[in-house]
Protein backbone atom coordinates (compact mmCIF):
# COMPACT_ATOMS: atom_id res chain seq x y z
CA UNK A 1 0.00 0.00 0.00
CA UNK A 2 1.51 3.31 -1.09
CA UNK A 3 1.45 6.36 1.20
CA UNK A 4 -1.01 8.03 -1.21
CA UNK A 5 -3.44 5.13 -0.97
CA UNK A 6 -3.11 5.07 2.81
CA UNK A 7 -3.74 8.83 2.99
CA UNK A 8 -6.85 8.51 0.82
CA UNK A 9 -8.16 5.59 2.89
CA UNK A 10 -7.64 7.56 6.11
CA UNK A 11 -9.32 10.67 4.66
CA UNK A 12 -12.31 8.67 3.36
CA UNK A 13 -12.60 6.98 6.76
CA UNK A 14 -12.58 10.33 8.56
CA UNK A 15 -15.21 11.63 6.11
CA UNK A 16 -17.54 8.68 6.76
CA UNK A 17 -17.07 8.89 10.54
CA UNK A 18 -17.65 12.67 10.70
CA UNK A 19 -20.75 12.37 8.48
CA UNK A 20 -22.16 9.62 10.71
CA UNK A 21 -21.35 11.57 13.90
CA UNK A 22 -23.02 14.66 12.40
CA UNK A 23 -26.22 12.71 11.81
CA UNK A 24 -26.16 10.88 15.15
CA UNK A 25 -25.28 13.85 17.41
CA UNK A 26 -28.05 14.80 19.82
CA UNK A 27 -27.32 18.55 19.81
CA UNK A 28 -27.68 20.49 16.57
CA UNK A 29 -24.59 22.60 17.30
CA UNK A 30 -22.52 19.43 17.60
CA UNK A 31 -23.96 18.31 14.28
CA UNK A 32 -22.74 21.53 12.68
CA UNK A 33 -19.26 21.13 14.17
CA UNK A 34 -19.01 17.57 12.81
CA UNK A 35 -20.32 18.60 9.39
CA UNK A 36 -17.66 21.34 9.32
CA UNK A 37 -15.05 18.61 9.88
CA UNK A 38 -16.64 16.57 7.09
CA UNK A 39 -16.37 19.48 4.64
CA UNK A 40 -12.71 20.11 5.57
CA UNK A 41 -11.92 16.40 5.08
CA UNK A 42 -13.56 16.44 1.65
CA UNK A 43 -11.46 19.48 0.78
CA UNK A 44 -8.32 17.51 1.69
CA UNK A 45 -9.53 14.66 -0.54
CA UNK A 46 -9.89 17.10 -3.46
CA UNK A 47 -6.31 18.27 -2.92
CA UNK A 48 -5.10 14.66 -3.02
CA UNK A 49 -7.05 14.19 -6.29
CA UNK A 50 -5.14 17.10 -7.92
CA UNK A 51 -8.16 19.43 -7.79
CA UNK A 52 -6.61 22.24 -5.76
CA UNK A 53 -9.06 24.89 -6.97
CA UNK A 54 -12.03 22.75 -5.94
CA UNK A 55 -10.34 22.14 -2.60
CA UNK A 56 -10.05 25.86 -1.93
CA UNK A 57 -13.62 26.37 -3.16
CA UNK A 58 -14.84 23.64 -0.81
CA UNK A 59 -13.05 25.27 2.12
CA UNK A 60 -14.45 28.72 1.33
CA UNK A 61 -18.02 27.82 0.36
CA UNK A 62 -18.79 24.75 2.46
CA UNK A 63 -16.46 24.78 5.46
CA UNK A 64 -16.76 28.56 5.67
CA UNK A 65 -20.04 29.93 4.37
CA UNK A 66 -22.47 27.02 4.58
CA UNK A 67 -21.37 25.95 8.07
CA UNK A 68 -21.71 29.48 9.45
CA UNK A 69 -25.06 29.89 7.67
CA UNK A 70 -26.34 26.71 9.34
CA UNK A 71 -25.06 27.95 12.70
CA UNK A 72 -26.83 31.28 12.21
CA UNK A 73 -30.06 29.46 11.36
CA UNK A 74 -29.83 27.46 14.59
CA UNK A 75 -29.10 30.63 16.57
CA UNK A 76 -32.11 32.39 15.02
CA UNK A 77 -34.66 29.64 15.54
CA UNK A 78 -33.66 28.45 19.00
CA UNK A 79 -33.62 30.35 22.26
CA UNK A 80 -30.88 28.10 23.61
CA UNK A 81 -28.61 26.65 20.99
CA UNK A 82 -27.32 23.78 23.12
CA UNK A 83 -30.61 21.94 23.16
CA UNK A 84 -30.77 18.18 22.94
CA UNK A 85 -33.02 16.79 20.26
CA UNK A 86 -35.67 14.37 21.34
CA UNK A 87 -34.37 10.83 21.13
CA UNK A 88 -34.93 9.67 17.58
CA UNK A 89 -36.25 6.16 17.53
CA UNK A 90 -34.43 4.80 14.51
CA UNK A 91 -36.18 1.70 13.29
CA UNK A 92 -34.39 -1.19 11.60
CA UNK A 93 -35.86 -0.46 8.15
CA UNK A 94 -33.92 2.78 7.39
CA UNK A 95 -30.69 1.21 8.70
CA UNK A 96 -31.19 -1.89 6.54
CA UNK A 97 -32.08 0.23 3.51
CA UNK A 98 -28.97 2.40 3.94
CA UNK A 99 -26.77 -0.67 4.48
CA UNK A 100 -28.19 -2.33 1.37
CA UNK A 101 -27.66 0.81 -0.69
CA UNK A 102 -24.08 1.14 0.56
CA UNK A 103 -23.37 -2.53 -0.20
CA UNK A 104 -24.76 -2.21 -3.74
CA UNK A 105 -22.72 0.94 -4.43
CA UNK A 106 -19.51 -0.60 -3.06
CA UNK A 107 -20.10 -3.74 -5.14
CA UNK A 108 -20.65 -1.61 -8.24
CA UNK A 109 -17.49 0.39 -7.52
CA UNK A 110 -15.43 -2.81 -7.33
CA UNK A 111 -16.24 -3.53 -10.98
CA UNK A 112 -15.02 -0.18 -12.31
CA UNK A 113 -11.69 -0.47 -14.14
CA UNK A 114 -8.83 1.47 -12.61
CA UNK A 115 -6.62 4.01 -14.29
CA UNK A 116 -3.86 6.52 -13.79
CA UNK A 117 -4.54 9.82 -12.06
CA UNK A 118 -3.34 12.74 -14.16
CA UNK A 119 -1.53 15.35 -12.13
CA UNK A 120 -0.93 17.77 -15.02
CA UNK A 121 -4.32 19.46 -14.83
CA UNK A 122 -4.10 23.06 -13.76
CA UNK A 123 -6.48 25.88 -13.06
CA UNK A 124 -5.80 27.39 -16.51
CA UNK A 125 -7.30 24.34 -18.21
CA UNK A 126 -10.21 24.47 -15.75
CA UNK A 127 -10.98 28.13 -16.48
CA UNK A 128 -10.63 27.53 -20.23
CA UNK A 129 -13.10 24.67 -19.95
CA UNK A 130 -15.46 26.53 -17.63
CA UNK A 131 -15.65 29.75 -19.64
CA UNK A 132 -15.64 28.30 -23.15
CA UNK A 133 -17.11 24.81 -23.36
CA UNK A 134 -19.35 25.01 -20.30
CA UNK A 135 -20.02 28.76 -20.22
CA UNK A 136 -23.75 28.24 -20.76
CA UNK A 137 -24.00 26.21 -17.54
CA UNK A 138 -22.28 28.99 -15.63
CA UNK A 139 -24.80 31.51 -16.97
CA UNK A 140 -27.64 29.16 -16.08
CA UNK A 141 -26.22 28.86 -12.56
CA UNK A 142 -26.30 32.66 -12.30
CA UNK A 143 -29.97 32.68 -13.29
CA UNK A 144 -30.77 29.94 -10.76
CA UNK A 145 -28.94 31.90 -8.05
CA UNK A 146 -30.89 35.07 -8.89
CA UNK A 147 -34.25 33.30 -8.71
CA UNK A 148 -33.17 31.56 -5.49
CA UNK A 149 -32.26 34.96 -4.02
CA UNK A 150 -35.72 36.32 -4.86
CA UNK A 151 -37.36 33.18 -3.45
CA UNK A 152 -35.34 33.31 -0.22
CA UNK A 153 -36.25 36.96 0.37
CA UNK A 154 -39.92 36.17 -0.26
CA UNK A 155 -39.85 33.24 2.15
CA UNK A 156 -37.89 34.93 4.92
CA UNK A 157 -39.72 38.27 5.03
CA UNK A 158 -42.30 38.93 7.69
CA UNK A 159 -45.72 38.71 6.06
CA UNK A 160 -48.18 41.47 6.86
CA UNK A 161 -51.25 40.20 8.65
CA UNK A 162 -49.64 36.83 9.27
CA UNK A 163 -50.39 35.17 12.59
CA UNK A 164 -47.87 35.99 15.29
CA UNK A 165 -45.31 33.24 15.80
CA UNK A 166 -45.70 30.88 18.70
CA UNK A 167 -43.17 31.78 21.38
CA UNK A 168 -41.07 29.62 23.66
CA UNK A 169 -40.70 25.92 23.87
CA UNK A 170 -39.20 25.57 20.42
CA UNK A 171 -37.68 22.11 20.21
CA UNK B 1 -1.27 5.34 -7.03
CA UNK B 2 -4.72 5.50 -5.49
CA UNK B 3 -7.04 2.74 -6.70
CA UNK B 4 -9.99 4.32 -8.46
CA UNK B 5 -12.51 1.89 -7.03
CA UNK B 6 -11.46 2.82 -3.47
CA UNK B 7 -12.63 6.39 -4.04
CA UNK B 8 -15.88 5.25 -5.65
CA UNK B 9 -16.51 2.79 -2.79
CA UNK B 10 -15.88 5.55 -0.23
CA UNK B 11 -18.26 7.89 -1.98
CA UNK B 12 -20.83 5.09 -2.16
CA UNK B 13 -20.62 4.62 1.61
CA UNK B 14 -20.97 8.39 2.09
CA UNK B 15 -24.04 8.35 -0.16
CA UNK B 16 -25.55 5.60 2.01
CA UNK B 17 -24.82 7.67 5.15
CA UNK B 18 -26.61 10.66 3.60
CA UNK B 19 -29.55 8.47 2.63
CA UNK B 20 -29.70 7.14 6.20
CA UNK B 21 -29.95 10.75 7.42
CA UNK B 22 -32.73 11.60 4.98
CA UNK B 23 -34.68 8.50 6.04
CA UNK B 24 -34.33 8.94 9.79
CA UNK B 25 -34.04 12.62 10.72
CA UNK B 26 -37.12 14.78 11.23
CA UNK B 27 -35.39 18.07 12.01
CA UNK B 28 -35.41 20.15 8.82
CA UNK B 29 -31.82 21.37 9.40
CA UNK B 30 -30.57 17.79 9.75
CA UNK B 31 -32.45 16.86 6.58
CA UNK B 32 -30.68 19.71 4.78
CA UNK B 33 -27.32 18.49 6.10
CA UNK B 34 -28.10 14.95 4.89
CA UNK B 35 -28.91 16.28 1.42
CA UNK B 36 -25.63 18.24 1.52
CA UNK B 37 -23.73 15.03 2.28
CA UNK B 38 -25.36 13.40 -0.76
CA UNK B 39 -24.54 16.43 -2.96
CA UNK B 40 -20.92 16.36 -1.77
CA UNK B 41 -20.74 12.67 -2.67
CA UNK B 42 -21.80 13.53 -6.22
CA UNK B 43 -19.20 16.30 -6.39
CA UNK B 44 -16.52 13.90 -5.11
CA UNK B 45 -17.45 11.44 -7.86
CA UNK B 46 -17.21 14.12 -10.55
CA UNK B 47 -13.75 15.16 -9.30
CA UNK B 48 -12.56 11.55 -9.08
CA UNK B 49 -13.72 10.79 -12.62
CA UNK B 50 -12.06 14.02 -13.77
CA UNK B 51 -8.77 13.05 -12.10
CA UNK B 52 -8.73 9.69 -13.87
CA UNK B 53 -10.02 10.86 -17.27
CA UNK B 54 -7.64 10.32 -20.17
CA UNK B 55 -7.24 12.75 -23.04
CA UNK B 56 -6.22 16.39 -23.42
CA UNK B 57 -6.29 18.42 -20.24
CA UNK B 58 -9.01 20.87 -21.30
CA UNK B 59 -11.43 17.96 -21.75
CA UNK B 60 -10.12 16.11 -18.70
CA UNK B 61 -11.18 18.89 -16.37
CA UNK B 62 -14.83 18.80 -17.48
CA UNK B 63 -15.66 16.93 -14.27
CA UNK B 64 -14.06 19.70 -12.23
CA UNK B 65 -16.02 22.33 -14.21
CA UNK B 66 -19.26 20.49 -13.44
CA UNK B 67 -18.16 20.30 -9.79
CA UNK B 68 -17.71 24.09 -9.68
CA UNK B 69 -21.26 24.55 -10.97
CA UNK B 70 -22.55 21.95 -8.48
CA UNK B 71 -20.87 23.69 -5.53
CA UNK B 72 -22.68 26.91 -6.46
CA UNK B 73 -25.94 25.04 -6.89
CA UNK B 74 -25.59 23.32 -3.51
CA UNK B 75 -24.84 26.60 -1.75
CA UNK B 76 -27.95 28.09 -3.36
CA UNK B 77 -29.96 25.11 -2.18
CA UNK B 78 -28.78 25.65 1.41
CA UNK B 79 -29.79 29.33 1.25
CA UNK B 80 -33.30 28.49 0.03
CA UNK B 81 -33.56 25.63 2.52
CA UNK B 82 -32.67 27.87 5.44
CA UNK B 83 -35.22 30.45 4.27
CA UNK B 84 -37.80 27.64 4.35
CA UNK B 85 -36.57 26.71 7.86
CA UNK B 86 -37.08 30.30 9.05
CA UNK B 87 -40.55 30.50 7.49
CA UNK B 88 -41.52 27.11 8.93
CA UNK B 89 -40.30 28.11 12.38
CA UNK B 90 -42.19 31.41 12.21
CA UNK B 91 -45.49 29.83 11.19
CA UNK B 92 -45.40 26.46 12.96
CA UNK B 93 -43.07 27.26 15.86
CA UNK B 94 -41.01 24.17 15.08
CA UNK B 95 -38.65 22.83 12.43
CA UNK B 96 -40.01 19.30 12.74
CA UNK B 97 -40.98 18.18 9.25
CA UNK B 98 -43.67 15.91 10.68
CA UNK B 99 -45.58 19.08 11.61
CA UNK B 100 -45.50 20.32 8.02
CA UNK B 101 -47.19 17.38 6.40
CA UNK B 102 -49.70 19.47 4.43
CA UNK B 103 -46.87 21.14 2.48
CA UNK B 104 -48.02 24.72 2.99
CA UNK B 105 -46.97 27.50 5.29
Q: What pLDDT is attached to residue A146?
A: 95
Alpha helices in chain B (DSSP H): 4-24, 28-51, 57-60, 62-92
Q: Is the dihedral of CA B16, B13, A115, A41 positive or negative?
A: positive
- Its domain, for residue B48, covers 4-100
Flag whether A62 is in a domain. Answer: yes
**pLDDT score for A45:** 94
Please name the helix (run of DSSP H) or strand (run of DSSP E) that holds residue A144, with its range, or none. helix A135-156
Q: Could B5 and A46 be called an inter-chain contact, meaning their C-beta atoms sit closer than 8 Å?
A: no
Size of chain A, expressed as the number of residues it contains = 171
What is the structure's pLDDT at A127? 87
B105 falls within a domain: no
From first to last of the 171 residues of chain A, give the pLDDT tens digit.
Answer: 788 889 999 999 999 999 999 999 888 889 999 999 999 999 999 999 888 899 999 999 999 999 999 998 888 887 665 666 655 567 788 889 999 999 999 888 888 877 776 665 678 888 888 888 888 999 999 999 999 999 998 888 876 555 555 555 544
Q: Is the dihedral of CA B88, B40, B42, A111 positive or negative?
A: negative
Distance from CA of A25 to the nearest CA of B (A): 10
List all residues of chain A from 2 to 41 with a beta carbon under 8 Å from chain B.
2, 4-5, 8-9, 12, 15-16, 19-20, 22-23, 28, 31-32, 35, 38-39
A134 and B8 in contact by Cβ < 8 A?
Answer: no
User: Total structural domains in chain A?
Assistant: 1
CA–CA dist A58, A40 (Å, integer): 8
CB B97 within 8 A of CB B26: yes
Domain count, chain B: 1
d(CA B30, CA B51): 31
Output the pLDDT for position A123.
Answer: 80
**Is residue A53, in this structure, part of any structural domain at all?**
yes
Q: Is residue B73 part of a domain?
A: yes
Amino acid sequence: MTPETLLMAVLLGIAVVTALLALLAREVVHTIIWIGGFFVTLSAIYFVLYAAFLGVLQLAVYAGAVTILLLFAVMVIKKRIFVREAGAGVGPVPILLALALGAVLVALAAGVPGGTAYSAYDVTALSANLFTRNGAWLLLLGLVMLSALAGSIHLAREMRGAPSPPRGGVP
Amino acid sequence: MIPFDDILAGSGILFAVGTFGVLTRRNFILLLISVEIIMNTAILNFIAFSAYAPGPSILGVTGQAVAVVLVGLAATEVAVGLAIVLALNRVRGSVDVAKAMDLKL
